[in-house]
Amino acid sequence: MNQILLALGIFLSGGLVAFTSSKMHGEIKIFKKTMGRKEFFLRALGVLLFLLYIPYLFSLEIIRWQIGLVGGVQSAEVTVLLAILKWFTYFSLAVCMIAPFYKMRFLKDYVAFIIPPIFLLNAIFLKPITVYITGSVNFYDYRIIIYSACLCLAGGMAFSTLLSVIKEQGKTDLLKRVGKAFGFMGIYLMAFMPMYLPQLFFGHVGDTPVDFTLTHRILIYICFALMFGGFVMLRKKPYEEKSFFVIFLALSGFLQYFSTAHGTGIGSLPLHLCNTAIVLMLFAYVFKWNAVYYFTYMVNVLGAFLAIFMPNTAESVITMEGTIAFWYNHTYAAVLPIFGVAFGLFPRPNIKLMYKCMAAFTVYVAFAAFMNGWLNNSPSLNPGGAIEIDYFFLYSSFMVNKLPFAIPLKNFIWTFPMGDTMVKIYWVFVLGVWVVYVAMMFLIWGVYSILYRTADAHVELALRAKLMKVDKVQLLKELDGRPKSEPLHPEGRKMIKFNNFSKTYAGTDRKAVDNLNLEIKEGEVFGFIGHNGAGKSTTIKSLVGIQSITEGSIEVQGYDVARQPLEAKLSMGYVSDNHAVYENLTGREYISYVADLYMVSEKDKNERIEKYAKMFHLEKALDSEIKCYSHGMKQKTMVIGALIHNPKVWVLDEPLTGLDPTSSWQIKECMREHADQGNIVFFSSHVIEVVEKVCDRIAIIAGGKLCRVATIEEIKKEGISLEELYLRYAQTTTKEDMDGERV
């Protein structure tokens, strides 16, 4: 009869919820947020279900006396089946609590398709469930009344959802949606596994997971695997799914904790640091309480990891309920706050928040020390000291057993009367624990900082890879069937071309090079002159692909430097303004290494090495280590390396700095010869006399802007020297820069 009444209650609740929600139209404003009346009604039912479920959490179930499967009031088979049904039922109740707050299809489908049969099984097996919960056939026990009320309320929500799904179903693949609902259950079901289930299934097996035994290490690995696995699984998911993940697990941790932390006495208060975290996390995530969240992130994570590495479980085997509950709770306390920042649900904290959390932790330690000293010695609240109260291990010997050097600290005791109690506080020991923990908080802040930088680097790399992929697709489209080895702009095969090129470095809004437009054609020795900091080296480093291009584009022999970097670099030789050579190699080994990078044939390599070694008088030095070379010899070795593949474009950045007259003359002659062969020589310098003698054309850059492009002959016809022209632009720009800085 009672089973029929429960089933009818579920069906009638479903009809009532469906009818009520169907009559709710329009919107309502709650806490500055506008939502539909139907949406508000279902959310209110979810909150009501949570509040109704709370009293049931504190009830002691007879199953805890049956897990030994000896002398139980029901058979072992029935006990196991009911335990599994309880697992699915409590999981489903939690889904009903949270589903109205999210619009994800798999949640709605689970509520509609999976929950009704589970709740109907509860109605069918109500009698053995009553025995399971109360130990007798007493349908009027308050726990059964609450349990039945939860089933009716959640069942009503489920049947209401089922009716709406059937109404909107249309031609959607029903089987596929049910499959996804089962998939959701498969992923999240473990969060609500009854803590005593391993003992029920396997009995007392395994060792105690302490002191880094194999079992202990495996559990530590599982903890880290859950953290990284959860992050990898959800890092690319929408914000709503990430939010659901952490709130559902926080709800699971909250309900699981109170389902195992029985009793209402002084020993059941969730004031131990990790127990506090289990309670705080749910409210921090649900209500977006930043202060509460950052306390769990800065303080509780550290405490949870310390507990994981130094567990204090009293049970002798891993399968016992207390051991499983310990690892569930501490894994949640360690992992869940990290997900908040990792998923972007809360912004990354700064050092000021760190100090605030430190202050809050100080208050917590003082409070915990006082509660320990008071409750352990209160004859009225704790007669005879029957219950040991040890919040944050500030009273018992657990901490000093782990750290024997701290034993003398417990000799310093502060006592003071409070009512009928003589409060006792180990104040030096408490202070020592506080100092060590605060130091470790700074350590974990350093770890967080490293992780932030690592995450940023990975995000940047991923973004670059994505952009490169998009650029590759666009490049193939623009090539219109031509091979990738072909220049994107064939009309520019015989030139270097800067198209509105700009470069801005990170951390500044000022452009190092601003909107540079320039063409350099074959057969030219082109001089690029400007004062120090004018933008010469910046332009050259972007040209040869050492640094990125902020705006515009650069083309070499028709190849886009940013989009066809390999092809562009193969057509260039580069001599930098510093001697970046491998000094433990010989000159010949270094040049051969560069030749191999450019895929130069053995015959061409040997011929060119012989030619340039003779030109630069390096025949005897080539087989000596480069670290023995003079400055000029190193520079000439770099020149040979830049020319070994006979590039169409030869780029030099301040190539003559620090050279003796002979070496300078040799390199200038080589530049002229290379240009006369139909190639481009592009070099920067602030030595005006050299530029005037060697170059065909010049460009003057000052303050990052191109000021003048002209041939040497054009400048001479104007009746002005190159030096005077250069100084005219350089001095004007320098004065403008100084004025701008003053402003």
Q: In three state form, how does the secondary structure of 272-338 look?
A: CHHHHHHHHHHHHHHHCCHHHHHHHHHHHHHHHHHHHHCCCCCCCCCCCHHHHHHHHHHHHHHHHHH
Among 542, 315, 326, 298, CA closest to 437: 298
Summarize the confidence of residues 575-604 as an average pLDDT.
90
pLDDT tens per residue, range 237-265:
999 999 999 999 999 999 988 887 655 56
More confident residue, 619 or 173: 619
Q: pLDDT tens, 113-167? A: 899 899 889 888 888 888 877 777 777 888 888 888 888 888 888 888 887 777 7
State the Cα–Cα distance between residues 558 and 632, nearest whole angstrom.
Answer: 34
Which tokens is 246 given? Answer: 């952490």
In angstroms, the Cα distances linking 403 to 406, 431, 524 are 6, 15, 77
Q: How many other C-beta atoms can be found within 10 angstroms of the C-beta atom of residue 593?
A: 13
Is there a contact between 286 and 183 (Cβ–Cβ < 8 Å)? no
| pTM score of the predicted model | 0.72
Q: Which two tokens stand for residue 84?
A: 């599994």
Question: What mean pLDDT is predicted for residues 455-466?
Answer: 86
Q: What are the extents of the domains in the chain?
A: 1-194, 204-240+262-347, 362-481, 490-571+647-742
User: What's the burial of 619, exposed, middle or buried (CB within 10 Å: 0-12/13-18/19+)?
Assistant: exposed
Is residue 716's pLDDT more than 60?
yes
Residue 345: is its pLDDT beyond 90? yes
Q: At a CB cut-off of 8 Å and minimum separation 6, what does 722 contact? A: 688, 691, 692, 698, 712, 715
Q: Which helix (H) or strand (E) holds 270?
A: none
Give the separation between CA 266 and CA 254, rounded to whole angstroms.
19
Whether 353 shows a pLDDT value over 80: the answer reads yes
Neighbours of 33 (CB within 10 A): 8
What is the maximal distance between C-alpha atoms in the chain? 115
pLDDT in tens, 181-211: 888 888 899 999 988 888 888 888 888 888 8
- The pLDDT of 67-73, averaged and rounded, is 45
| pLDDT of 25 | 57
What's the CATH number of domain 490-571+647-742, 3.50.50.60, 3.40.50.300, 1.10.760.10, 3.40.630.30? Answer: 3.40.50.300
Q: Which amino acid is at 635?
A: Q
Measured distance CA(124)–CA(85) in Å, rounded: 12
Q: Which of 448-462, 541-555, 725-739 has the highest mean pLDDT?
A: 541-555
**The pLDDT value given to residue 663:** 83
* Average pLDDT of the residues in 453-480: 85
Identify the pLDDT of residue 6: 60
Digit-coded pLDDT (tens) for 259-275: 876 555 666 678 888 88
Q: Integer distance in angstroms from the first to the last C-alpha of the chain?
A: 89
pLDDT at residue 60 in the model: 55
Q: Choose among 394, 384, 387: nearest CA to 424.
A: 394
